[in-house]
Structure 1
Amino acid sequence: MNVQYPMGGLRGARTISVVRDDQEVITPPSEEGLMAAKIPARAEAVAKARHQLGKLLQNSGLSECADTAVLAAQELMVNAMVHGCGSKPALQFFVRATREGGRLRVEVEDPSIEQPHPRPAASDEEGGRGLHLVDALVARWGTDSATTGSGKTVWFELDLATEEGAS
């Protein structure tokens, strides 16, 4: 299922990511608006969405930022699955990726209102480093209120190469 969301400030944004009900679907960029992928809160669904995003970025001529975007997006998707959905497979989260001018923006929306916060992790802890990694990889990141109701959207932006920004 695809859901369209109008997004203030991203007029003319082009869609670069669509996954339908955990199925592998790639759609060409659209001038109509922002599209969303609904992802079940399951590890295998996160893996498929990560793969699709990487493939789509490669096919869209954004190979220079694909690895970075996929790694940062995976961190946000895992956080959405574990913390935002409580690892309940019946729940879902949304992933959106848009390209506007000289930037790539990836958004992950989940049903939890709890805001993410980087925390210090002990050297023997398995988790606690994801947001530090995102912060180190991307140009900007933050949170907004969810567009689909309650919850939050965690997003990041990557600045694209100059020639990409001109298109």
Structure 2
Amino acid sequence: MNVQYPMGGLRGARTISVMRGGIAIALPSESDSTPTCWGRDFQMATEIPAQAEAVAGARHQLGKLLKRSGLSECADTVMLVAQELMVNAMVHGCENNPALPFSLRATHEHGCLRVEVEDPSMEQPHPRPPSADEEGGRGLHLVDALVTRWGTDSSAPGPGKTVWFELDLGAEEAAS
């Protein structure tokens, strides 16, 4: 399946293609002559079934996009934090039910990388102190330590929430 959608962005409207697997990616076109120092801008969106294999696939696609966009230096951190949010969406937001998908969006504009994970649950994530024998409970502490900012948004119409994080990239990494 290949469906085209217009998307707004730093340089105006771009067209993205939704390929098999539901991943939509928008990169600046080769013919874009708008002068800018933000040559690595992109938008990515995908819907993911609440399955571990799908989370791994989305993480891999995000990593490829970051590396292709010249953002290799932050790729490991972004993939780790995005995976944490996707696993939380799968386990807590979708209750491991593959029939309840969640979505992943990533954008890079103006030197800021933003990743959003939206799931159907209204339950807000909150860091909790893990006990020594607990397997989980450390993920949001990891998120908080690795990103510039993170938070949640429940203002969209309909049920669910979006958990997001941002990384402000240094001038040498943001400039082409």
Please state which band the TM-score falls in when normalised by the shorter chain: 0.7 to 0.9
The answer for unaligned runs of 5 or more in structure 1 is: none
1:154 aligns with one of 163, 168, 175: 163
In the alignment, residue 100 of structure 1 is paired with which amino acid?
A: E
Alignment correspondent of 2:69:
60
Alignment correspondent of 2:101:
92
In the alignment, residue 65 of structure 1 is paired with which amino acid?
A: C
Alignment correspondent of 2:129:
120
8 Å Cα contact 2:4-2:17 kept in structure 1? no
Q: Which moved more, 1:155-164 or 1:141-150?
A: 141-150
8 Å Cα contact 1:85-1:91 kept in structure 2? yes
For residues 43-81 of structure 1, give each alpha carbon's deviation from its aligned partner in whole angstroms, at most 9, with x where no partner exists: 100010011111110111000110000000000000000
8 Å Cα contact 2:50-2:98 kept in structure 1? yes
Alignment correspondent of 1:51:
60
For residues 5-60 of structure 1, give each alpha carbon's deviation from its aligned partner in whole angstroms, at most 9, with x where no partner exists: 989xxx62899x9875646x6745158x9552000000100010011111110111
Tell me how far apart the structure 2 counterparts of residues 143 and 3 of structure 1 sit (CA, whole Å).
Answer: 29
Taking structure 1 as the reference length, the TM-score comes to 0.82
Alignment correspondent of 2:117:
108
For residues 63-116 of structure 1, give each alpha carbon's deviation from its aligned partner in whole angstroms, at most 9, with x where no partner exists: 011000000000000000000001001110000000011110000000000000
2:141 corresponds to 1:132: yes
For residues 110-151 of structure 1, give each alpha carbon's deviation from its aligned partner in whole angstroms, at most 9, with x where no partner exists: 000000000010111110011000000000000012646210
8 Å Cα contact 1:141-1:156 kept in structure 2? yes
Instruction: Report the count of equivalent residues.
Output: 161
8 Å Cα contact 1:5-1:36 kept in structure 2? no
Q: 1:50 to 1:112 in 2, by over 3 A?
A: same
In the alignment, residue 136 of structure 2 is paired with which amino acid?
A: G
Alignment correspondent of 1:77:
86
Tell me how far apart the structure 1 counterparts of residues 69 and 92 of structure 2 sit (CA, whole Å).
Answer: 31
Taking structure 2 as the reference length, the TM-score comes to 0.78
Tell me how far apart the structure 2 counterparts of residues 114 and 78 of structure 1 sit (CA, whole Å).
Answer: 15
RMSD: 3.2
8 Å Cα contact 1:22-1:40 kept in structure 2? no
Q: 1:149 to 1:81 in 2, by over 3 A?
A: same
For the pair shown, the structure with the greater C-alpha radius of gyration is 2
Percent identity of equivalent pairs? 65
The answer for unaligned runs of 5 or more in structure 2 is: 30-41
